[in-house]
Structure 1
Amino acid sequence: MPALRAAVFFFCCACRPAAADDLPAAQAFADFAEPNGALTVFPKGDYVEPYFALKALLAAHRLGVDIAPAASAFGHWLLPFQQADGPFPRICRSSAAEWLACGPADADDSLDALWCLLAAEVLPADEVLAASCARSLEHLATLWNPAQQTFHAAAGSAAYFADNVEVIGALRHLRGSSAASTRFAVQLAALPSSASMLKGLRLTYGYDPDGALEPARASMPPTPYGFYPNAVAPVYLWLYDLRGGASGVRYWRLWMERYGAQWLAGASDHYPWGLIAWAAYRNGDQASARRWLDNAAAWRAAGRWNIVEEGVRIGLRNTFKNRTPQPSS
């Protein structure tokens, strides 16, 4: 993933203290939502990174939270910032009421894909968002490098394993939906097949689904090894159904043996990586997901928090609250 995304997760100088941990589900993202619909990276923050907002909304949605009102408000706030050829910028507060594009957005490739996933999965009847999605898919096609068989984060930039996993998952969903596959037939036909993208994971990143836990490279060109991005890279495979079943559970146990204790102690990074808790839940490791959720209030109070963590927190609170207790044997 691009350096900007690493900066958001590694550095805390811009973050603000989080509010109390007792907001009802109806006020999802209240600490991050502006009256105009913007969703800031940090609580009561001054800038919007569209990728992070989309990731948070989709995490909460897939964990059963009704985020349609927040998604619609954010989507229509974001629309005027879309460039004519499809991508979105990073957006910063200029005054109390004015927001301006202030630089390139994080990860054009996965942003394009997640924007369309939100439109198709959460707001399928919104024709305005659908038209915007079509432009994003057209832009996504320009980021494909056929020689490497991978998407680049932006034109002329590096290519990232996790971004490509996100794109594979999003395009599989769009192609698997009769409504989306019909609506975006032209745009989807111009994009590579799942087989080509999976081949690219092997070719560019040295990923073997039956081999090592981590891909040989988390990015191309490679970056120095660290919890982020290397240890986090395989987590995206569970989030987007590229690993599952008995093999997926086995690899999850390996991930937890290698990294789980430090991650759950909050010692792996400044931010607590709620995406890993979501992966734990998807793998049936409810104990780890609950433990992360139990620690969330302390991390929020300490300012170790951003909108993606909030999306997972809201989602896990919802799914555990609504889960029917199993009878004791």
Structure 2
Amino acid sequence: MSKLNSQHLTSIGSSLFGLLLSCLNAAHAAAPAALDLTGYVDKQGAISVQFNGDTIDPYFTLQALLLARENGLDISPYAMKWANWMIDRQKPDGTFDRFCLTQGVWSPCKTADADDALMALWLKFLSTMPHEQATNSRWTHSTQLSQANLDRLIDTKRGIYLVSPVYQHGLLMDNLEVLSYQIQPDNKAKAAAAKQLALSIRDVFSDQKTHRFLVSTQAEQKELASAFYPDQVAQIFPLLVDFDFNLLPSPKANYYKQWMKQYRQSWLTQSRHDFAWGVIAVLALKQGDSSSAACWLRESSAAQHTAHWIATDEVARQVLMRHRIEPAGLDVDCN
């Protein structure tokens, strides 16, 4: 074997350094960025709806954590503490309350807005930590209790889920939340139920005359004036569920573009008088519509950490940042 001269050594060294650098860059790109909920979370792991807020709505916290996890943010610093905080406060019937901060203590102050969607998100969240769910008796009990509670909300005649034992009507978006829980890759036991629920959603909520989705099974909804929420949001909500159940009247990409054509401006200005709806910005990112995502960052920037900004919006902002989406420049027309 011939001896290596200094030039060969230099060449090999450079190649090895380049390979190492490439590997480090690849590892960095693959590693999830850390979610930062500073100002939303306390020492006990409770996560408020708003920045330095005095209200906890478990639905929105679960929505925010799941959105973060599904889009490459590491939620592990918060997930376990939040799960245990919730289990400590789960009621005997499996439901959860909303909480208000009074003299430094989180106390139940309202019932949940919708049991079906909350149960589905809670079960989906627990399933992201399968080891703990299988080995921790408190988590196992919560899973069983929550599933039994969700099962009680099925309308056996129509095949959809009802809001609660008190409110005996079904909501499109709630049923899509349940579907999102049932269609997880590791949830094979729910696969048949998911297909049946998808068919029921189509049969109950698709308005064949208008080619739009009905928001609710309540008859009076047809008499109400259209508003961004819930009517316009409901039209795009099926795209947030990664399941092809032939609900849409046109291909997904075309359907998305049509929604943006009709409602983009309304969505981008929501944070001036309502909530920012950052979850739609994440959907825009997934649809390859970085311009709409960038416009949302610009148009909603003044709302950050105000009453118009919730934990889900903060997660959406961090997801876009992770994908190097910058706010649209002032010279960009976002109309």
TM-score, normalisation: structure 2: 0.77
In the TM superposition, 1:7-26 aligns within 5 A as 26=34
Partner Cα distance (1:130, 1:118) in 2: 13
Offset of 1:301 from its aligned partner?
5.6
- The answer to whether the aligner puts 1:125 opposite 2:122 as a matched pair is no
| Equivalent residue number for residue 200 of structure 1 | 200
Alignment-derived partner of residue 214 in structure 1 = 212
Match of 2:330 in 1: none
Match of 1:170 among 162, 165, 181: 181
* 1:102 alignment partner, one of 109, 113, 119: 109
3-state DSSP of counterpart to 1:28 = coil
SS of the equivalent of 1:241 reads coil
> Against the structure 1 CA distance between its residues 317 and 149, is the aligned structure 2 distance closer, same or farther, given a 3 Å change threshold?
same
Residue of structure 2 in register with 1:151 after alignment: 161
| Aligned partners of 1:61 and 1:315 also within 8 Å | no
* CA shift for structure 1 position 130: 4.2
In structure 2, distance between residues paired with 1:294 and 1:263 = 13
Unaligned runs of 5+ in 1: 1-24, 322-329
- Paired position in structure 2 for 1:18: none
Letter in 2 for 1:241: D
Question: Aligned to 2:127, what secondary structure does the other structure show?
Answer: helix
- Which residue identity lines up with residue 212 of structure 2 in the other structure? E
Closer, same or farther: CA 117–267 of 1 in aligned 2, 3 Å: closer
**Which one has a bigger Cα radius of gyration?**
2
3-state secondary structure, aligned to 2:304: helix
Secondary structure of 1:259's aligned partner:
helix
Contact 1:64 1:319 (8 Å CA) reproduced: no
SS in 1 for 2:38: coil
Deviation larger for 66-75 or 266-275: 266-275
8 A contact 1:63–1:319 mirrored in 2: no
Distance, in Å, in 2 between the alignment partners of 1:218 and 1:154 is: 16
Looking at structure 2, the residues matched to 284 and 48 of structure 1 have their Cα atoms a distance apart, in angstroms, of 33
CA contact (8 A) 1:293 1:317 kept: no
Read off the aligned partner of 2:97 and give its amino acid letter: P
Matched, 1:275 2:279: yes
TM-score normalised by the chain length of structure 1: 0.78
Which residue of structure 1 lines up, in the alignment, with residue 264 of structure 2? Answer: 260
Q: Is the 8 A contact 1:201 1:207 kept in 2?
A: no
For residues 186-235 of structure 1, the C-alpha deviation after alignment (integer angstroms, 9 at most, x for no partner) is xx59xx72232123223332356xx85630x2012143231111110132
Closer/same/farther in 2, CA of residues 226 and 296 from structure 1, 3 Å limit: closer
Gaps of 5+ in 2: 1-32, 326-335
Q: Return the structure number with greater relative CO, CA threshold 8 A, min gap 6.
A: 1
Equivalent residue for 1:111, pick from 85, 109, 118: 118
Shift of 1:26: 4.3
Question: What is the identity percentage for the equivalent residue pairs of Structure 1 and Structure 2?
Answer: 28
Instruction: State the partner residue of 2:69.
Output: 61
One-letter identity of the residue aligned with 1:162: M
Contact 1:40 1:47 in 2 (8 A): yes
Matches within 5 A, 1:22-101: 26=34, 28-96=36-104, 98-101=105-108
* Partner residue in 2 for 1:241: 242
Q: State the 1:166 CA deviation.
A: 1.1
1:90-138 Cα deviation digits (max 9, x unpaired):
1222321x222222112211111111111212x2221333442222111
Give the length in aligned residue pairs: 282
Would you identify which runs of 4 or more consecutive aligned residues in structure 1 move more than 4 Å? Answer: 243-246
Taking a change above 3 Å as real, the CA distance of residues 138 and 258 of structure 1, as seen in their structure-2 partners, is: same
**Residue 266 and residue 101 in structure 1: after superposition, are their counterparts in 2 closer, same or farther (change >3 A)?**
closer
Whether the 8 Å contact between 1:153 and 1:159 is mirrored in structure 2 is: yes
